[in-house]
Amino acid sequence: MLALLRAFLFKKALLDLLASQKRSRQVHTIDSARTIGVLFDASAESTRRESLEFLKSLEKQGKKVSSLGFFNESKLPENQPFDCFSKKECSWIDQPKSEKAADFTKQKFDLLLMLNPDNLAQLEWLAAQSQAAFKIGFATSRPNDFDIQLETPEGKGIRYFTEQLALYLGKIVLK
């Protein structure tokens, strides 16, 4: 019962946030984007490793990449090589309240990528708050303002998502 109430209140707050958003949209590909923001689930070792590999590949392409990982746990593991926050730094209805999360959402990215295969509400909230020109994420049933949502088969993970991302963004022709 309590979980249903939390989910309802989160969805209502998310709808209110999306209704108040006024962002300037512009289509970008990986090649055209100069600044890229990446939100990712850092809870599982495999997801974290695949996300960090993808971040390194973007940096090798000369992109300015800012990332923020989320640990779906109360306590953060020590010595992480990336900015992150935990479940403890979120409100009762899963709205992130950490300073790092606030700093991330203030940045104006050309492209925001959300690597969130488990549809964690905390990352969806940050994606909705972002003023990025072009937003891409996993398909979700919650309200959002993604410009592209990629549906991936169960268990395929981040690597499959990034391969599909490259495939679809490669088909976009910018004028």
Distance (Å, rounded) from C-alpha 82 to C-alpha 149? 25
CATH number of the domain bearing residue 144: 3.40.50
In a domain? residue 54: yes
Fill in the DSSP letter of residue 143: -
Domain that holds residue 152: 2-170
Give the CA distances from residue 38 to residues 6, 10, 12, 59, 123, in Å, rounded to whole numbers and listed in that order. Answer: 26, 22, 25, 12, 10
In a domain? residue 123: yes
In a domain? residue 26: yes
In a domain? residue 62: yes
Count of structural domains, the chain: 1
Which whole number is the average pLDDT over 42-64?
95
The pTM of the full predicted model, rounded to 2 decimals, is 0.93
Predicted confidence band of residue 172 (pLDDT cuts 50, 70, 90): confident
Query: For residue range 116-161, what is the model confidence (pLDDT) as tens digits?
Result: 999 999 999 999 999 999 999 999 888 898 999 999 898 888 999 9
